[in-house]
Structure 1
Amino acid sequence: FAADIGFEKFWNVKCRLSGLKPHVSVLTTTIRALKMHGGGPRVVAGIPLPEEYNKEDLALLEKGLSNMVHHINVIRTSGINPVVCINAFHTDTKDEIAMVRKAAEEAGARCAVSTHWANGGDGALELADTVMEACETDSEFNFLYPLEMKIRERVEKIAKVVYGADGVSWNPDAEEKAKTLEKDAKYDDYATMMVKTHLSLTHDPATKGVPKGWNLPIRDVLIYSGAKFLCPCAGTISLMPGTSSDPAFRKVDVDTKTGKVMGLF
């Protein structure tokens, strides 16, 4: 989920509520993903990968490096030491790996190649050593915004600094709801949990790379009082249904004598 979704929530919500101050954040990337952000063809599940992803293409890879650098910069904004993990495939070439490593290091990150998929734990030793080294380096952890900041200002800050947007475009109903929430002290300590696709820095999953000249559209603000979350929704995205008060998994069990699973149907 990269630095725009998972990391941003961990940084500004999880760490704030837990008191954690991480020393290092590992940004995992693949040569294939960077080629896609460089303008590579669309990948469709169940269909063989286009040839561009299975052969050396330094030009395509170079175009996609800006996306990785953007995520590195977001991590550095938090004061946490970034480590780029190149999750290597057998189709990656030495020149491609060298290009990614050079870009990561020039952006201020440590970098390690990991072949754990092929070599198990031994293939991740370089990554482990690099993470340990980063952990031993001082960090200057800081939040993106103070709790006193109102929700519309928070969304603006996240959109500009984390996503790279020029600003935020509010649906009239969503903005009216946000204004109402800002006036009620009950919501002052609610966490801001952005709802956005993880497939792009923008709200549009088809937009790759690091786009410029765009605004983040907010269509609604969802309220989850139990968790104390305010969730601004960007663009069109399906929401995961919540678990009911009596979820079906409670009825599932295994008969230890027969090994038969019960309660599935």
Structure 2
Amino acid sequence: MTQATSADDGFCTPVDLDALAASAGVAAEHVIPYGRDVAKIDLSVLAPDERETDDAGAGGHGGARYVVVTAITPTPFGEGKTTTAIGLAQGLALLGEQAILTLRQSAMGPTFGIKGGAGGSGRARILPAERMNLHLTGDFHAITAAHNLLSAMIDNHLHHGNELDIDERTITWPRVLDVNDRALRHVVTGLGTRIDGVTRQASFDITPASELMVIMSLATDLADLRGRLGRIVIGRNRSGEWISAEDLKAAGAMCAVLRDTLAPNLLRTGEGTPVLVHTGPFGNIATGCSSVIADRVAAAGARRGGYVLTEAGFGSDMGLERFVDLKCTVSGMQPHVAVVVVTVRALKAHSGRYRLVSGKDLPEGMLEENVEDVRAGAANLLKHLEIVRGFGITPVVAVNVFPTDHGGEIEEVTRIAREAGARVAVCHPVTGGGEGCRDLASAVVEACRAGEDGEGPASARPVTRPAYEPQDDLRTKIAKVAALYGADGVDYTPAAGRLLDTYERDGFGSLPVIVAKTPLSLSAEPGLKGVPTGWRLPVREVRLAAGAGYVYAICGNLSTMPGLPSHPAAERIDVDVATGQIINLR
């Protein structure tokens, strides 16, 4: 029996990993301990005799209720979506409900940059926090290594005669690193003598932006992972034909590196609720969701009437759309309820009366009580409720309270949500943990049960409505997503238009799409707050992620390799050499 002990437990007593797994419906023989405080779950838990196959058709999640946590358009500071999801899981447990939470793993780049860790805060956090925000079980390192193995094999192939006749000008496969480093955005490789390789321009992305990260999040088993790796395209030959990882004979070795990474990681909340942490694709340029496998493991272990909770990155316009149009399409799981996290400060920001800068304090005026500012920004909340309902999902509004909020402002948010026909609950996950989210948990239970009783769009067998149909061509799919945002249309650069034609001609037109844009606005311009009108979506570039299985349209000035601020969090992080504990890790 493995005891989990950690100096950062705080208010949580030590947990037996086998008992923690049992609370998620996972038998001890499927638990693979990684040290004393984390485990991986062997994928044999998903063998047919381990699931309730007679309930598999009920929305793809057995007898469990499937809840996704999303949000309104966030501020640069975030609105506590992960913290709210953690608090909700703990609140459900206090109500006597089984709750299993699935989350993305924190990336080290943001941890050492501005954002800090992504494992919650206060009484709503993931433990052990140090493992969550740093190496965990090495999954990100394995993804980095497998990605860069393909990069190395591309350049090695060029060096040794280029038998596949790769046109090096078409190579789109970068290298990756889980560190924010703007100096690596554009690099030249192969400098030196002839034996040092072919000189060419290349680039680095951050590891969460790797196509491999999305492949890991969408793969359903080892065979699916192996197939997706082989389908990765890295460029074209001089005849215009696509060159794949399989052509380079790299996919098998990549799969070998990633084999153990396919198993999700078992952690816990501060109050002992089980959490499956797995994969971490970026929410602006990728799917922004944790893995299909983690959700399936949770659903397999959930009792009838239990709750499988997950989170989708950023607002409902981005993370939830990709959750529905990509993740649910792969997993077959359909959500009963979407929790929409809203904060007073975000609504004030969407009034358009304040300028928020990441890394700097909130403007003084936003800290003063101003109900009118809340009303002025409420259109953004209403738009997100419209988006959620457009997918056929029942919304529950979670008002995440910050210390700077005022009572009148909180009451106004609650009134607006109720008048829009949504269930709403005020929650205090940071200061109250599960108890601070008890009302939210009750609202989620009520919404799920109402759907099962035939009230509203949620049902015992929920069916979401995607933003587009699989048979739509790529331009139509992008246009329908843009319309969901409120755009009047889409404008393509000539290069983007030509590539879309190429993708269609070469048989990729049936793939889903991702619109990569700023998360700070419904539009592609981060400064446009509220619900912008009279704008068009500018697509400057399109890329093919054949292994992950989608085409993504890049809008605006997005970077896949963030930079560090003038005073990054890494300056404060250290180790107490007397105790060995990591300090100042947020």
Q: Shorter-chain TM-score: what band? A: 0.7 to 0.9
Whole-angstrom distance in 2 between the partners of 1:43 and 1:239: 22
Measured against aligned partners, the alpha-carbon deviations of 1:87-143 in whole angstroms (never above 9, x if no partner) come to 012332222112111211222321110012111211000111111111223225221
In structure 1, distance between residues paired with 2:506 and 2:425: 48
Q: After superposing the two structures, state which structure 1 stretch, 229-238 or 97-106, moved more.
A: 97-106
Distance change in 2, residues 1:143/1:42 (3 Å): same
Q: Tell me, yes or no, if the aligned pair for 2:474 and 2:510 is still in contact at 8 Å.
A: no
Q: Which residue of 2 aligns with 1:204?
A: 525
SS for the counterpart of 2:450 is coil
Q: 5+ residue gaps in structure 2?
A: 1-313, 452-457, 563-579
Q: 1:60 pairs with 373, 378, 397, which one? A: 373
Instruction: State the match for 1:234 in structure 2.
Output: 555
Q: Using the alignment, how far apart are the partners of 1:47 and 1:166 within structure 2? A: 34
Between the aligned partners of 1:17 and 1:4, the Cα distance in structure 2 is: 19
Does residue 19 (structure 1) correspond to residue 332 (structure 2)? The answer is yes
- In structure 2, the CA distance between the partners of 1:225 and 1:199, relative to structure 1 (3 Å rule), is same
Indicate yes or no: 2:365 matched with 1:42. Answer: no
Amino acid at match of 1:97: I
Partners of 1:201 and 1:77 in 2: how far apart?
A: 16
Question: Is contact 2:515-2:553 (8 Å) kept?
Answer: yes
> Which among 516, 541, 549 is matched to residue 220 of structure 1?
541
Counterpart-to-counterpart distance in 1, 2:387 and 2:533: 16
Deviations 1:36-59 (CA, angstroms, capped at 9, x unpaired)? 000232223443322222121111
Which residue number in structure 2 is paired with residue 253 of structure 1? none
Q: Given the alignment, which residue of 421, 424, 435 partners 1:111? A: 424
For 1:18 and 1:240, the matched residues in 2 are separated by 29
**Deviation larger for 82-91 or 137-146:** 137-146
CA distance in 1, matches of 2:496, 2:522: 21
Over 3 Å counting, the alpha-carbon distance change for 1:240 and 1:135 in structure 2 is: farther
Partner of 1:175: 497
- Contact 1:219–1:234 (Cα < 8 Å) also in 2: yes
Deviations 1:189-239 (A, max 9, x none): 422122111011111111111111000000111111221221111111112
**1:19-168 equivalences in 2 (<5 Å):** 19-138=332-451, 139=458, 140-161=463-484, 163-168=485-490
> What is the TM-score with the length of structure 1 in the denominator?
0.86
- By how many angstroms is 1:183 displaced? 2.5
Asked if the contact 2:347/2:380 (under 8 Å) is kept, the reply is: yes
- Verify the 8 A CA contact 2:473 2:510 in the aligned structure 1: no
Partner-residue secondary structure (3-state), 1:136: helix
Work out the CA distance in 1 between the residues paired with 2:509 and 2:527.
35
Q: Which amino acid aligns with 1:218?
A: V
Judged with a 3 Å threshold, the aligned counterparts in structure 2 of structure 1 residues 148 and 17 are, in CA distance, closer, same or farther, namely same
Question: Distance between the aligned counterparts of 1:24 and 1:238, measured in 2?
Answer: 33
2:398 & 2:413 partners in 1: Cα distance?
A: 10
Deviations 1:68-90 (A, max 9, x none): 11011000000100111100123
Where 1:149 maps in the other structure, the secondary structure is coil
Alignment-derived partner of residue 192 in structure 1: 513
Could you tell me which amino acid in structure 1 is paired with residue 526 of structure 2?
A: P
Q: Aligned pairs, how many? A: 243
CA separation in 2, counterparts of 1:151 and 1:189? 8
- Alpha-carbon contact 2:472-2:510 (below 8 Å) kept: no
On the 8 A contact 1:3/1:71 being kept in 2, the answer is yes
Pair member with larger Rg: 2
Query: Could you tell me how far 1:173 is from its partner in structure 2?
Result: 1.2
Q: Does 1:3 align with 2:325?
A: no
* Partner secondary structure for residue 527 of structure 2: coil
Write the letter of the residue equivalent to 1:184: D
| Greater fraction of residues in helix | 1
Q: Structure 1 CA distance, aligned partners of 2:486 and 2:536?
A: 9
Q: Which runs of no fewer than 5 residues in structure 1 stay unpaired?
A: 242-258
**Distance in 2 (alpha carbons) for counterparts of 1:118 and 1:87:** 11
Separation in 1, partners of 2:420, 2:483: 19
Structure 2 Cα separation of the partners of residues 233 and 260 of structure 1: 41
Counterpart Cα distance in 2 of 1:33 and 1:81: 22
Amino acid at match of 2:332: G
Separation in structure 2 between the aligned mates of residue 104 and residue 115 of structure 1, nearest angstrom: 18
C-alpha contact (below 8 Å) 1:201/1:210 kept by paired residues: yes
Which amino acid counterpart does residue 204 of structure 1 have in structure 2? Answer: E
Bigger relative contact order (CA 8 A; separation at least 6):
2
Say if 2:491 and 2:538, in contact at 8 Å, map to a contact too. yes
Structure 2: which amino acid aligns with 1:200? S
| Residue identity in the other structure for 1:125 | R
Q: Contact 1:40–1:52 at 8 Å: present in 2 too?
A: no
What percentage of aligned pairs have identical amino acids? Answer: 40
